[in-house]
Amino acid sequence: MTHNGAAHACASPVSALDDIDLTRWSRDADFVFSGKVIDVSYRRSEPQTSGADGLQHTVVTYEIERVFKGSSDQARVSLRFFGGPTSRTRFVQNE
């Protein structure tokens, strides 16, 4: 599956980009690329207070196929998104 990513951590399937103002996001971003998802992992952040749960995150690693803006000396980039599966709920996400 090919995705687009940006410094704003905007990563969406190409078919879902219709509702996104790509001109504005590209202008504001430091780095814009297209690439292939090569790994997805789920992690929980450290709780900020005793007895609290950490926040669930999804980390998506991309193999960079093309750079449209900015530069990278790496062949891969990982972006962290709020949300992911938890033991108590099926999936937590930021809307």
Query: Could you report the per-residue pLDDT of 11-38, keeping only the tens digit for each?
Result: 555 555 556 677 888 888 899 999 999 9
Please report which helix (H) or strand (E) contains residue 28, including its range: helix 22-28
> Do 82 and 55 form a contact (C-beta atoms < 8 A)?
yes
pLDDT in tens, 39-83: 999 988 877 777 667 788 899 999 999 999 999 899 999 998 888
Check: pTM over 0.75? Answer yes or no.
Answer: no
